[in-house]
Amino acid sequence: MTLACPVDLDSARLRREVREMYSRVAAAPNGAFHFHRGPDYAARWLGYDAAELAALPASVTAAFAGVGNPHAVAPLPPGAHVVDIGSGAGTDLLLAARHVGPTGRAIGVDMTAQMRDQARAGARACGLSHVELLDSDATSLPLEDASVDVVISNGVLNLVPEKDRAFAEIARVLRPGGRLQIADIVTGVELSEEIRRDIELWTG
């Protein structure tokens, strides 16, 4: 039995289509997409604190498209260095920045320029100067070894074909005793080779 992606999967095309889809979400978060979005969904279905979400700019929370709540795993301690893989428009990232406070650091890694721009603008609007946005993806984190206390991610790693590389990168950047707080999609059965090769099914 194998859980690996097909060797002939066009990962460059997959990344391109994922980037294009989330560029559309950034531009028109109320558009027609196959996944839920927005602060009401986050609070009602995923257990986010509605008051915390309301304190963030609407331009940030409108484009929220997570599948769970990584903040529910454990509190982020003041002063911690946190990286959010696939940070999108910044909902989880800015919440993390608020939780760790000005002595901490919140780094967002995302491959979609429009999402990074929205997250940066949101951080400025909230006065969160300890937020940084980086252009990359889960398989190549632009961070030093053992440099972060907590890695968070929400509904992103399921879209990464090279999951072994992604988890190796997570292990590399975490400090000893650091932790991963992840929310994502899993299946209870192994998917067929045909399904795993279908990029349209990857992106929905």
pLDDT digits 0-9 by tens, 55-78: 999 999 999 999 999 999 999 999
| Per-residue pLDDT at 82 exceeds 90 | yes
Q: Which residues pair with 105 in a beta bridge?
A: 81
pLDDT higher than 50, residue 115: yes
For the chain, list the strands marked E by DSSP.
Answer: 81-85, 105-110, 131-135, 148-154, 174-183
pLDDT digits (tens, 9 = 90+) for 84-103: 999 999 999 999 999 999 99
Domains belonging to the chain, first-starting first, are 11-203 (3.40.50.150)
Tell me the per-residue pLDDT of 117-136, one tens digit each, with 9 for 90 and over. Answer: 999 999 999 999 999 999 99
Residue 11 pLDDT grade (very low, low, confident, very high; cuts 50, 70, 90): confident
